[in-house]
Chains A and B, each alone.
Chain A
């Protein structure tokens, strides 16, 4: 099956800086892709290139085989939900939702019917004559969604759709949004800097940095197999330890590494011997009494999270590492030790240190 929406080698420069650097992505029809990255990673620019508000310096955007790179937003039929919603304050709810339908020439009772249908979709049936400023933040968000969906766009674009909501409202809205989009089966691209949001909403997540695609995959793939240190650090909690890769383990299923002189055996992709960065998830380490094969550390902080606690410990060299453990395992100031919790953890990744 050919992809429904394709971004091919998109490049966008602003005043000499490259905002989007040769980005290629492909979405199946009905797929939901989350663009995840820190601020300045080019995710919003990518969305604006898709919407047609910016035009790329190089590259193409294809929808269903049609090249829309130079098609203006007016004719592109991409629906967009803006970060601050951009609802028209002088129009009421119904007029806002009708706006895009009127562009298509929909009039009269057909218009009313479709406005009502779009509002019903977001659970705001009967809100046609409300004024925008009378609505709560969550309702405004849903009107913006109804307005974008009413003209039945080919692609739906969401710019940080939940960032303007109260934290208490965010989770519920996220769930409703996911269900609605799944039900409609509309191809959707979403921009967010919240990892939870990306993992929860996206069928796949594309991690961007400095305008480049670092990795794209399902949330599981990104977590289990980060392509590099950045993705690993950006997705989920982790610590980074500088290590020396000594060679394959005796049984041939892992590697021997030296962490500040202490020898560990860990799993991982084949990694050349030499200096490397070791990315470690907190649950892949455990606290242990000092002894052979145990890295001596001092407990710097302890954060209670329920049945377990998250310990921040410092190695002798001063590297801070997060370790998960039983709630009462240690207290701040304790001198103790750290070992890999089990060899086949999947939460430890080795990346060769780049030679400069």
Chain B
């Protein structure tokens, strides 16, 4: 099939080729092939420390996220509390904060001059801030905050899909509460738990914003790579990149088995109804705790909004800012230099999203049949960037596209307009194509055949049947891609130019100039746009089969 072969070639060029070039550069020196850089890497304790830090931070992030997310999921899935519907939705809100925005919100809250720190200093009459938001602890705090959502959402969905009749059957067979949980509920949840653990692990292994802002002297591999490259030791950066890639792929292989074991059956049936908490004291205690928790979870969002109204240089040591203004937002619109990053991020994300949707759609349509030629390979390449940290891809693309060698498929894109959309596109391929593929898989293949037997060719079938029916999946895939690209920091920091600087970079430079109001205003824009696009993406439900 020529179309499939062309797609495979495109993906190999975009996804695999840059990684291979990184690997080659790591073992290549001015005098030809060499293992010098690898030996240098292995001999340095700092490298081992960074690799170890990446690993344990990720494991700890999984444990902490599970410890927060699972109880919350059980609380909201099993118990009927006052306002639990609203609360259950609000609990997922950390997801709408792009990583860098979440990090600066934590800075405004718990940093040395953050609200909470200042408040505690005043209340307890301290001379110093009660803590320093720095190092592994700070990173873990941000990770737990932003990643418990995976456990919360996965486990809640898992609990909602349990057939209530199975629980009743267990009870009628004499199984007590714990035996039911151990033998019925946990096996049912294991794919959700495995999936959430894998997602959390991979996300924190690739995490860059929190270690970059809060790391201080504490380096994980993602930040180590960036600093090594800034120091000009390009070959060492390549070896570091390879080491991080290997760690990520090993983790994926080890953890993937846990969510592959899907529990068959049990899809039908009705989820057990939430239990109403009867005793008033317990009821109010639980509800109070839940609201308190949600308030804590929403503090970063509120902080961001509050700080975005603070005029430049007016807020120093007061617990609450003394003056408020709309000026920061007006600046974003009126000052062409300040407006530019917003426009940049908008078009960069749009281009990346449209391309990702087009490639994802092509991939899904070409590989939907089980025996499709090259199908597994195409789907593997579409999914690969998910396992590879963004920093790695940034390095890989920077390596591949900084040389003019058209016969080798290499062009100078670094420093041009095109490198960022390309980087966003590659990073977005997995989530976008996954959303679209699951949509395509849910379509009855007989619909395509029906169109064919009614004389509709491939294009007419795509236009009249496939795409209209895929609208919800396409929207969902596009919204995920757009949100990721719009708030991207990790690849942007390595590939941007002044003309294409995206919002995240402008946030960083505003912070450096102590212009917290404008930084927060950008953050609010990112947050609101992300939330709006998410809502749009989820607005169309898949039609029930006719």
User: Which A residues contact B (CB, under 8 angstroms)?
Assistant: 51-53, 72-80, 82-90, 99-100, 103-104, 132-133, 140, 147-148, 151
- Which residues of B are found within 8 Å of A51, using beta-carbon distances? 449, 453
Give B433-450 interface residues, CB cut-off 8 Å to A: 444, 446-447, 449-450
* B475 nearest CB across to chain A (Å): 14
In the complex, are the beta carbons of B449 and A73 less than 8 A apart?
A: yes
Give B412-460 interface residues, CB cut-off 8 Å to A: 444, 446-447, 449-457, 460
Distance, CA A151 to CA B447, complexed state (A): 17
Distance, CA A7 to CA B449, complexed state (A): 21
- Which residues of A are found within 8 Å of B460, using beta-carbon distances? 103
B545 within 8 A of A: yes
In the complex, are the beta carbons of B468 and A73 less than 8 A apart?
A: no
In the complex, are the beta carbons of B546 and A147 less than 8 A apart?
A: no
Distance, CA A234 to CA B454, complexed state (A): 35
Distance, CA A151 to CA B454, complexed state (A): 8
Find B449's partner among A77, A79, A86, A100 (CB 8 Å cutoff): A86
- Which residues of B are found within 8 Å of A103, using beta-carbon distances? 454-456, 460
- Which residues of A are found within 8 Å of B451, using beta-carbon distances? 88, 99
In the complex, are the beta carbons of A104 and B450 less than 8 A apart?
A: no
- Which residues of B are found within 8 Å of A74, using beta-carbon distances? 452-453, 455-457
* A240 nearest CB across to chain B (Å): 37
In the complex, are the beta carbons of B452 and A73 less than 8 A apart?
A: yes
Given contacts A87-B546, A88-B465, A133-B546, contact A82 B446 (CB under 8 A): yes
Find A82's partner among B449, B457, B464, B546 (CB 8 Å cutoff): B449
20 A-B pairs whose Cβ atoms sit less than 8 Å apart in the complex: A53-B452, A72-B452, A73-B452, A74-B452, A74-B455, A75-B455, A79-B454, A80-B449, A80-B450, A80-B453, A82-B449, A84-B444, A85-B546, A86-B449, A88-B464, A88-B465, A99-B451, A100-B455, A103-B455, A151-B455
- Which residues of A are found within 8 Å of B543, using beta-carbon distances? 89-90, 133
User: Which B residues contact A (CB, under 8 angstroms)?
Assistant: 444, 446-447, 449-457, 460, 464-465, 468-469, 543-546
Chain B residue with Cβ nearest A89: B546
Chain A residue with Cβ nearest B467: A90
10 extra A-B contacts, CB within 8 A, seeds A51-B453, A53-B453, A87-B450: A73-B449, A80-B453, A82-B450, A84-B444, A86-B444, A88-B447, A88-B465, A88-B546, A89-B469, A151-B454
Given contacts A74-B457, A99-B454, A147-B454, contact A89 B449 (CB under 8 A): no
For the A-B complex, the count of residue pairs with Cβ-Cβ distances under 8 Å equals: 77
- Which residues of A are found within 8 Å of B449, using beta-carbon distances? 51, 53, 73, 80, 82, 86
- Which residues of B are found within 8 Å of A100, using beta-carbon distances? 453-456
In the complex, are the beta carbons of B546 and A140 less than 8 A apart?
A: yes
- Which residues of B are found within 8 Å of A73, using beta-carbon distances? 449, 452-453
- Which residues of B are found within 8 Å of A72, using beta-carbon distances? 452
In the complex, are the beta carbons of B545 and A89 less than 8 A apart?
A: yes
Find A88's partner among B450, B453, B457 (CB 8 Å cutoff): B450
Q: Name the residue in A52, A86, A133 with the highest tally of chain B Cβ atoms < 10 Å from its Cβ.
A: A86
Distance, CA A103 to CA B452, complexed state (A): 10
Given contacts A99-B464, A132-B546, contact A86 B450 (CB under 8 A): yes
- Which residues of B are found within 8 Å of A78, using beta-carbon distances? 453
Chain B residue with Cβ nearest A77: B455
* A77 nearest CB across to chain B (Å): 7
Chain A residue with Cβ nearest B446: A86
* B416 nearest CB across to chain A (Å): 41
- Which residues of B are found within 8 Å of A53, using beta-carbon distances? 449, 452-453
* B441 nearest CB across to chain A (Å): 16
In the complex, are the beta carbons of A90 and B454 less than 8 A apart?
A: no
* B457 nearest CB across to chain A (Å): 5
Distance, CA A104 to CA B453, complexed state (A): 12
* B473 nearest CB across to chain A (Å): 13
Find B456's partner among A82, A90, A99, A133 (CB 8 Å cutoff): A99
Distance, CA A74 to CA B545, complexed state (A): 24
- Which residues of A are found within 8 Å of B454, using beta-carbon distances? 79, 99-100, 103, 147-148, 151
* B371 nearest CB across to chain A (Å): 8
* B67 nearest CB across to chain A (Å): 43
- Which residues of A are found within 8 Å of B455, using beta-carbon distances? 74-75, 77, 100, 103-104, 151
Find B544's partner among A84, A85, A133, A151 (CB 8 Å cutoff): A133
* B213 nearest CB across to chain A (Å): 47
Distance, CA A132 to CA B216, complexed state (A): 62
- Which residues of A are found within 8 Å of B457, using beta-carbon distances? 74
Distance, CA A53 to CA B447, complexed state (A): 12
- Which residues of A are found within 8 Å of B464, using beta-carbon distances? 88, 99
Chain A residue with Cβ nearest B449: A53
Distance, CA A84 to CA B449, complexed state (A): 12
* A101 nearest CB across to chain B (Å): 8
- Which residues of B are found within 8 Å of A151, using beta-carbon distances? 454-455
Q: Name the residue in B444, B446, B468 with the highest tally of chain A Cβ atoms < 10 Å from its Cβ.
A: B446
Distance, CA A45 to CA B285, complexed state (A): 64
Distance, CA A74 to CA B456, complexed state (A): 6
- Which residues of A are found within 8 Å of B544, using beta-carbon distances? 133
Chain B residue with Cβ nearest A150: B454
- Which residues of B are found within 8 Å of A79, using beta-carbon distances? 453-454
* B542 nearest CB across to chain A (Å): 10
Chain B residue with Cβ nearest A79: B453
Chain A residue with Cβ nearest B471: A90
Find A90's partner among B446, B452, B468 (CB 8 Å cutoff): B468
5 smallest CB-CB distances across A and B, nearest first, come from: A103-B455, A100-B454, A89-B546, A86-B446, A86-B450
Distance, CA A76 to CA B457, complexed state (A): 12
- Which residues of B are found within 8 Å of A104, using beta-carbon distances? 455
Distance, CA A11 to CA B11, complexed state (A): 37
Distance, CA A87 to CA B454, complexed state (A): 12
Chain B residue with Cβ nearest A97: B454
Distance, CA A78 to CA B450, complexed state (A): 11
Distance, CA A51 to CA B454, complexed state (A): 11
Distance, CA A177 to CA B457, complexed state (A): 29
Chain A residue with Cβ nearest B546: A89
- Which residues of B are found within 8 Å of A75, using beta-carbon distances? 455
Distance, CA A336 to CA B244, complexed state (A): 84
Distance, CA A268 to CA B112, complexed state (A): 103
Distance, CA A245 to CA B447, complexed state (A): 55
- Which residues of A are found within 8 Å of B452, using beta-carbon distances? 52-53, 72-74
* B460 nearest CB across to chain A (Å): 7
Q: Name the residue in B452, B456, B457 with the highest tally of chain A Cβ atoms < 10 Å from its Cβ.
A: B452
- Which residues of A are found within 8 Å of B453, using beta-carbon distances? 51-53, 73-74, 76, 78-80, 100, 148
Chain A residue with Cβ nearest B543: A89
- Which residues of A are found within 8 Å of B468, using beta-carbon distances? 90
